[in-house]
Structure 1
Amino acid sequence: MVAVDVGAIGQDLARHWLVYASMPVIAAIIGYVTKRVAIDMMFRPIEFVGIPPFLGWQGIVPKNARRMADIATGLLLGRLLDPQEVVSRLDPERLAKEMEAPLRQVVEDVATHVLARYQPSIWEMLPPAVQRLVLSNVESRAPAVTLKLIEEVMADVESFVDIRTMAVENITRDKHLLNRLIRDISKAEFTFIARCGLVFGLILGFVQVVVWALTKEPWIMPIFGLVVGGATDWLALKMIFHPREPTRFLGLVTWQGLFHRRRKQIAADYGRLIAEEVLTADAVVEAMLTGPRSDRVFQLVQHEVQNIIDEQTSIAKPFVVLTVGSRRYQEMKASAARLAMARLRDAVMPAAGYASDVLDIGNTIASKMQLLSPMEFEELLRPAFRQDEWKLITVGAVIGFLVGELQVFVLLG
């Protein structure tokens, strides 16, 4: 057994009381700062900084943007949101009504453009009243055609809009958006991690005081710094997700992983962010008109536009074909379809407000999230940590070790 010289320890404490008093404070600071650094490294920098591929750093979240977007979108569309069920809440007639005024302007612009291009001499010779009559005839067909298009899209919405690809691409393209999604729903968790570093560091700092007083071993400081920086990172991350259900420890303390304890608030925040940032009416319309399945939409529009032209020229069609030629007539119909497709966004977007209110995507997601198992619920955030969390723990440990070495230099220098 090693004899302890209490008197010598007391003298050393009296002589270096300020140093001893600073140990728990420094340990607490190490714990807090390493957590803040670790949190910051999750999100910044947005792009890789350094010498690729290994000498440098990119925030863990933006680095793994596609993988995380795939996981989140898979869960979103697999368990939280059925696009067909959500779209069925819309009233096709009300949607067509919302689009009626802007649609009339689009139809008039398309008709005027096509007629002026392919029949300029005849169109310019017509009196204004006759021109208006021609346009009115075309416009009168627009509401019925619009309603038909809406009903066809709503009958099988996923054939016309690849929502999964749209969501993944939007999140991956805008890494700031992904950062916001993770940061906003996890503010409380990140604050908890930093505070854990402070508290755990302070506790270990008092242990460090005792061990240093008894041993005076130079390795004590860097080892404690390493433990404070690394182990507290690991412990804080575990306490966020575990245990998944409320569990009583030692018969004294009941604890549930913070992420699971805040389930209701997280669900509300997540639903709101998805509705406002990812599955917006503008994004859905953009995907419908320019996405991988936009050719289906174009085929619908082309078919209906060409039918209107054939109907409106049915009596005079032989004369029209004779005047412009059969090939030119087909070109005229194709041109009208392309222009109508290009202007479709102008007609659809005024209905966005009605659609957003009725679809109620945010509340739908939030309510469905309450039905997830704890493991499924955890997958909302856990992918942000799991694959590279060892790097965060390592960085915390290294910073703590270096600060410990600095303490030794101060004490023995």
Structure 2
Amino acid sequence: MSAFFADFQTNWLVYLSMPLIAALIGYGTKLVAIRMMFQPLEFVGRKPFGWQGIVPRRAARMASIACDTMTDRLISAGEVLSRLDAERVVKEIEKPLLDGAEEIAREIAMEYQPGLWESLPEAVRRGIIHRVQAEAPGVVRSLLDMIKDDVDNVFDLKDMVVTNLVKDKALLNRIFQQAGRKEFQFIAHSGIYFGFAIGLIQMFAWAATKNPWVMPIFGGLTGWFTDWLALKMIFNPKQPKRYLGVFEWQGLFLKRRKEVAADYGALIAQEIITPRNVIEAVLRGPLSDRLFALIQRQVQDVLDRQAGFARPLVVLAVGSGRYQAVKQRVAEKVIERLPEAMTYIEDYAEDAMDIRNTLVQKMQELTEEEFEALIRPAFEQDEWILITVGAVLGFAVGELQVILVENLAH
């Protein structure tokens, strides 16, 4: 021991540098590991050499896992649309609805019977337009009720969520980073403390052996162990547990359930399950053909009712083929105008659907395992790569540390 103190007095700067450099190794490898999880968004390099962030590289799988938890346990397509009141929707889009009905009536009449339409007195033409406008709100109400009654056939919520996340990898990154921001801070800061503790052990090992392999081995151990331990401490134990009768610990992510739920719910409501995205998915998603078929049937039924007893005369005047074509053309024009008309309900729909509060409330009801699944995929997928990289970087820095120590010692 006296020899150690004598050596320490002579090379005190060398010994003091060891835990400090070990702390730096722990911190630096954590920052690199966290960055490697999310950056770069696209592959950089020449295969097989290069790198793409783990989350963006596995975007489809990550999005699917996150979406499974979201749509299976938190919110359903029916829940999203069931809160929209048909009367309120009609009121919100009243102006574009009536304007659109008038324009469509004029355009179709001019397209199929221009001479006849122009020869009609203005009062007659206005009467026809008013009849069309009077029917329009009823069509919207009926259509919305039909959609809500058979929502799974016209709105694929999971496809909407996955499509948006895969298309926007930066958004997918943001979800995991926002939900786990304090966990990532903990990982980085834990590298300092764990690294410093290992550095103290390294200091005594170096004093006892003076073996140059001590530095890189302890550097690799610091990079590997601190990564592994930090990841374990984020998710374990799932319930608060007392250790050594002194301190209590619960997995950090699970301990922050309320805070995470609020952040996660707000982000999903603001970025993914938004009225604009829902409307877009309904109108242009994989099930949109079924919606358009509903719209066509509704519009054609209205036209048949409007023709009433005069329908045989109308068919006789324009021909049965052209009559069917008119109905088809009206339906197409209605569908063309739907996206613009639906923008008028976005503010109302956001309040009515109340996605944020729904998600927060439902997240509080999740089991520990289900709650962990919200962010665990970001850590679990290829986490061995991150731990290995931490060990390799730590080993490399340890080699540099040998050179530094030898120079300081001389």
Under TM normalisation by the shorter chain, which class is it? over 0.9
Alpha-carbon shift at residue 87 of structure 1 (Å): 3.2
* Alignment gaps of 5+ in structure 1: none
Task: Using structure 2 for the length normalisation, give the TM-score.
Answer: 0.95
Q: Distance in 2 between matches of 1:84 and 1:271?
A: 18
Q: Which residue of 1 aligns with 2:271?
A: 277
Alpha-carbon shift at residue 319 of structure 1 (Å): 4.1
> Where does 1:27-42 land on structure 2 (aligned, <5 Å)?
27-42=22-37
Q: Which residue of 2 aligns with 1:213?
A: 207
Counterpart of 2:45 in 1: which secondary structure?
Answer: strand
**Match for 2:15: what amino acid?**
Y
Q: Which residue of 1 aligns with 2:349?
A: 355
Deviations 1:105-146 (A, max 9, x none): 222222222112111222233344433222111101111111
Alpha-carbon shift at residue 283 of structure 1 (Å): 1.0
Kindly indicate whether residue 403 of structure 2 is the aligned counterpart of residue 409 of structure 1.
yes
Alpha-carbon shift at residue 181 of structure 1 (Å): 0.5
- Name which of structure 1's ranges 236-245 and 94-103 shifts more when overlaid on structure 2: 94-103
Kindly indicate whether residue 20 of structure 2 is the aligned counterpart of residue 25 of structure 1.
yes
Q: Distance in 2 between matches of 1:56 and 1:405?
A: 24
Aligned-pair identity in percent equals 51
Deviations 1:368-408 (A, max 9, x none): 11111111110001111112100010111111100000111
Alpha-carbon shift at residue 14 of structure 1 (Å): 2.8
Counterpart of 1:56 in 2: which secondary structure?
Answer: strand
Alpha-carbon shift at residue 412 of structure 1 (Å): 2.7
> Where does 1:302-317 land on structure 2 (aligned, <5 Å)?
302-317=296-311
**Match for 1:28: what amino acid?**
A
Q: Which residue of 2 aligns with 1:80?
A: 74
Counterpart of 2:42 in 1: which secondary structure?
Answer: coil
Task: Using structure 1 for the length normalisation, give the TM-score.
Answer: 0.94
Answer whether contact 2:101 2:132 (CA < 8 A) is retained. yes
Kindly indicate whether residue 120 of structure 2 is the aligned counterpart of residue 139 of structure 1.
no
Answer whether contact 2:77 2:155 (CA < 8 A) is retained. no
> Where does 1:8-407 land on structure 2 (aligned, <5 Å)?
9-52=4-47, 54-407=48-401
Alpha-carbon shift at residue 199 of structure 1 (Å): 0.9
Answer whether contact 1:96 1:150 (CA < 8 A) is retained. no
Counterpart of 2:216 in 1: which secondary structure?
Answer: helix
The count of corresponding residues between Structure 1 and Structure 2 is: 407
**Match for 1:72: what amino acid?**
A
Answer whether contact 2:18 2:200 (CA < 8 A) is retained. yes
Counterpart of 2:308 in 1: which secondary structure?
Answer: coil
**Match for 1:113: what amino acid?**
E
Q: Distance in 2 between matches of 1:91 and 1:298?
A: 21
Q: Distance in 2 between matches of 1:66 and 1:113?
A: 44
**Match for 1:358: what amino acid?**
A
Deviations 1:172-192 (A, max 9, x none): 111111001001111100000
Q: Distance in 2 between matches of 1:119 and 1:63?
A: 57
* Alignment gaps of 5+ in structure 2: none
Q: Distance in 2 between matches of 1:116 and 1:32?
A: 73
CA root-mean-square deviation: 1.6
**Match for 2:286: what amino acid?**
P
